[in-house]
Chain A
Amino acid sequence: MTELEHRRNFIKGVMLGSAALGAAAAGMFSDTDATSPKLGVRPAGAADRKKMAFIQWQPHTVPAAWSKGIEEVLKTQQTIDYELLDGQNKVEVQVSLMEALINQGASVIFLQPIDSVALAPSIAKAKRADIPVITLNIDATEAHAAHVEMNHYYGAMDIAKALGDRMGGKGEVAILNAPPGIVIRDQRTNGFVDGLKQHHPDIKVVSDQVADWDRKKAQDVLNTILVANPNLGGVYGVNDSMALGAVDVAKEKGLIGKMVIFGNDGEKDALESIEKGELTGTQYTDVYQQGRFAAAAATVLATGAVPASAFGEQGRLLMPYLIATKETVGEIQPAQRW
């Protein structure tokens, strides 16, 4: 995708998003039923209660925030039962949970797939059962109702650019990485490496080590990396926890301000650290909002008033993201911090 396409997609996404929200609002009032003359008063019987569920990757801040956003919208609808299910970081568990939800006749399934291909057969199954699936952040190869994402690949490219700019276009960087096995990791790593190639070919990745998404491991690994690479000018943590681990090390070694550190996700601790001038930056998305959008689309779909086909082949909502740095972090309102 070119930059232009990227932007076009983004605009399309936002439009679709607002349409979805509007439709959701409409949907709340369109729940008419010939047998019940009054709106919203009729206690919902067991039969017409709708079930929606979100299958997450594993307990983590990002899906938790999505879930909050989703719930915020759904709880305004008294006929919807919502629950959060745990994929236990295993594709096969996610598949089993998908099948359980299909069996239960859920109205909409939110899904944060661990893998694009692995969940595709289950999504196809859901489609056959007329259950719309809305994916979050990781798309599936099987076309489905809607996909709401913060683009990891382009985000990481932008991070590479921002990081390189601050390093003056030269020097050595290290990546604090996650072990392979989930596509986000690959997208972010590839985006970052490609971004450096494109924008700052003189910057060299001197170390790419696994720190298991974990702040403590990141501390240990970066400490070790610094022994071999005392001139390290930048660090990219594939998630914020690892970036904050790098900040811990930089603080201890008096490298704050000298070493450029970027994270990814944009959770509130990271934003706070940016404000304090410790973490250089991160890719931020309003994850609550992302959840709300997903939920809005879901309510529309669940009414049946707007069929999934109205979203075209597959609804696609690209969340706007921000490379949050000391200069821009102030734009993020407290209510948008998760």
Chain B
Amino acid sequence: MSETTSISVASAWRLAATHALPVSIAIVVAVFAVAEPAFLTPDNLLGIVRQIALVGIMAAASTFVIMTGGVDLSVGPVLALAGLVAYFVLGAGYPVPVAVLAGLGIGLFIGLLNGAAIGFLDLPPIIVTLASLSIVRGAALIVGGPDLHSIRDQPIYSAIGTGSLAGIPLPVWIFAAVVLLLVFVQVRTPFGLLVAALGENERAARLSGHRTRITKMLVYGLSATGAALAGIVLSSQVHTASATYGPFGTELDVIAAIVVGGTSIMGGNGSVVRTVVGVLFLGVVSNGMNLLNVPIDVQLIAKGAIIVVALGLSARR
């Protein structure tokens, strides 16, 4: 009797460890729900998803970068610049799709440049994207100055961030679409397999005849395009474009979501789905603490502790 109990306890423990993050989310949700019943209202749950959509889009798009053993620190300024570019293109009288494409295009362009420096010149990603963080911010400030540019009378553009479809806000749809697309790319395309191969063993990938440099370049292009998309959604949500958006720390939020999800910062093992779980986890924690009016100091300490406990549990595997 006692033996079967101990075995079932042990196996339950093991099960908990392999799914540490989902289990942690469940525990955190339960705690918040008890402390504040309103936490579980559909309104708030939808609110959580809406709140994580922006970081979620960036993190999902940046997952491949981390999987290849790289890192993209330049997402913040890219987000700002993309919003500005869309604003100016709109201002010049072009239709919304052109503005959106221009914003995404500038992101893709910057990302490909990052990727080229990393893939073809073999420079360390952390320095390249840190340099790019500085350069793109400077460029954004030259383009837009420190001012806030109001986006007025652009109902279609504004709908990107504020509209909703079937009761669900558009940013959530966009987030979902990005995730589905990227999961599909990861699982069903040669590119997705190549990203995993590159992260696992770059030398072997090259010896198998793959153009690893181009793959790397594209991965950074994708990451920056994700940031640009987030920038467009953001500028639409706040009806403003500014070069100062996506401040210092944005990049750490994005990377945190990816690595907390379980993708290794050293590359290789990883997936877009895990990133979504990571984003969700951090989003739930922050939403619940806002809800309970936890002071900022306690919030930060609790956030650190929760990350340690949740991921410490999964490391026990």
Contacts and interface: CB of A to CB of B under 8 A. Distances in A.
**Do A and B interact directly, with beta carbons closer than 8 Å?**
yes
Interface of A: 58-61, 63-64, 89, 177, 179-180, 206-210, 212, 214-216, 219-221, 223-225, 227-228, 241, 244-245, 248, 252, 267, 269, 272
B3 interface: no
Given A224-B44, A227-B38, A252-B162, A210 B146 contact: no
B45 to A, nearest CB: 10
A228 B292 contact: yes
B141 A59 contact: yes
Most buried by A among B41, B47, B146: B146
B147 A64 contact: yes
9 pairs of A and B residues whose beta carbons are closest in the complex: A59-B146, A215-B238, A224-B290, A220-B51, A64-B146, A227-B44, A207-B293, A210-B296, A228-B291
B47 A61 contact: no
B244 A224 contact: no
B296 A179 contact: yes
Contacts of B252: none
A228 B296 contact: no
Contacts of B38: 227-228
A206 B292 CA distance: 10
Given A64-B145, A223-B47, A227-B47, A59 B244 contact: yes
B293 A216 contact: no
A227 B293 contact: no
Contacts of A244: 238
A136 to B, nearest CB: 15
A61 B146 contact: yes
Nearest to A212: B247
A278 to B, nearest CB: 12
Interface in B6-54: 36, 38-39, 41, 43-44, 47, 50-51, 54
A159 B162 CA distance: 29
Given A63-B146, A241-B148, A225 B290 contact: yes
B201 interface: no
Nearest to B249: A212
Given A60-B244, A215-B240, A269-B150, A224 B291 contact: yes
A216 B292 contact: no
B237 interface: yes
B234 interface: yes
Contacts of B36: 228
Given A64-B147, A220-B51, A245-B238, A227 B247 contact: no
24 contacts: A61-B146, A61-B148, A64-B145, A64-B147, A89-B248, A208-B293, A209-B296, A210-B299, A214-B247, A215-B238, A215-B240, A220-B51, A224-B290, A228-B36, A228-B291, A228-B292, A244-B238, A248-B162, A248-B237, A248-B238, A248-B239, A267-B148, A269-B150, A269-B240
Given A215-B238, A225-B291, 6 more contacts: A58-B244, A61-B148, A209-B290, A223-B51, A227-B44, A269-B148
A216 B39 CA distance: 21
Contacts of A207: 293
A216 B145 contact: no
Nearest to A84: B146
Nearest to B43: A227
Most buried by B among A89, A177, A179, A209: A209
Interface residues of B, number: 34
Contacts of A241: 148
B287 interface: yes
Most buried by A among B38, B50, B243, B292: B38
A206 B293 contact: yes
Contacts of B292: 228
Interface in B111-146: 141, 145-146
Interface string B188-201: 00000000000000
Contacts of A63: 146
B295 interface: yes
Nearest to B38: A227
A269 B239 CA distance: 10
A111 to B, nearest CB: 17
Given A227-B47, A228-B36, A241-B148, A216 B234 contact: yes
Contacts of A224: 44, 47, 51, 287, 290-291
Contacts of A223: 47, 50-51
Interface string B73-89: 00000000000000000
Nearest to B46: A223
Contacts of A252: 162
Nearest to A213: B247
A174 to B, nearest CB: 9
A227 B148 contact: no
Most buried by B among A63, A179, A215: A215
Interface in B142-196: 145-148, 150, 162
Contacts of B290: 209, 220-221, 224-225
Contacts of B238: 215-216, 219, 244-245, 248
A63 to B, nearest CB: 7
A274 to B, nearest CB: 14
Contacts of B43: 227
A216 B244 contact: no
A312 to B, nearest CB: 34
B148 to A, nearest CB: 6
Interface string B262-295: 0000000000000000000000000100111101
A227 B296 contact: no
A232 to B, nearest CB: 12
Nearest to A267: B148
Contacts of A177: 296
Contact of B295 (A61, A64, A208): A208
